[in-house]
Amino acid sequence: MATRNNSKLCTICNKSSATSFCIGCEQHFCRKDFKEHERQLSITFDNEIIRSHDELLDLIQKLEKSNYLSLHVFDQIEQWKQTTINKVKKAAEKAQNELIQFIENQKLTIIKQLEPITKEIRSLREEENIVETDIDRLRKKINDMRQKLQEFTQKDTNKSIIVNDNQIDWNRLIYVRREEQQNCKRFELNILGKRNFSPNQSNIFVFH
């Protein structure tokens, strides 16, 4: 820390007996003032550096999951989760209602198509004038309508009208984006592909 230089004045007492030089502050001191200067540096080091270091270490050791789960960014994630769940529920309810309406429409269509067949069957029964061609013709019509009915009521996964949601990349809907620039690390929350970023928002975390 110190070097000998007898030609300089002491920075403290202004005497020409400065024999020590501090390479930190680049000033000259006499032997007595240099010892005091070293003592003050030691006090400052203890009070500022060591104490700050110990306080930081203590904070790290006390950091528990409950502490950082209270951060605002976790509230944003929870809010996004609830909002997304509500949207999925509404979309599912809408699809269910559309399917119910589709089945009802098909039901009414088949009932309407069945009406003339019903009348013909009653007429043939009343007249008692049934031939083989009538049976074959009516059998074909009834079987065709039964086939249409079964097409949208049977459990056939190969003909499902539900879109496969495996095409959705759920991990990209919301994620934490990490960056490192000039010895500075930070992460930010991205929602639905849009960066939820503002210098004033609490969801930006910077580490030096």
Q: Any idea which of 92-96, 99-103, 192-196 has the lowest mean pLDDT? A: 192-196
Amino acid at 64: E
Q: What was the pLDDT predicted at 19?
A: 87
Average pLDDT over residues 183-195: 57
pLDDT band, very low/low/confident/very high, at 185 (cuts 50, 70, 90): low
* pLDDT surpasses 80 at 4: no
Is the C-alpha dihedral spanning 79, 82, 88, 89 positive or negative? negative
Q: How do residues 95-150 score in pLDDT, each as one tens digit?
A: 889 888 888 888 888 889 889 989 988 888 888 778 888 889 999 999 988 888 88
Q: What was the pLDDT predicted at 66?
A: 59
Query: Could you tell me if 188 and 200 are in contact, meaning their C-beta atoms sit under 8 angstroms apart?
Result: no
Q: How do residues 37-56 score in pLDDT, each as one tens digit?
A: 999 999 999 999 999 999 88
Query: Could you tell me if 171 and 156 are in contact, meaning their C-beta atoms sit under 8 angstroms apart?
Result: no
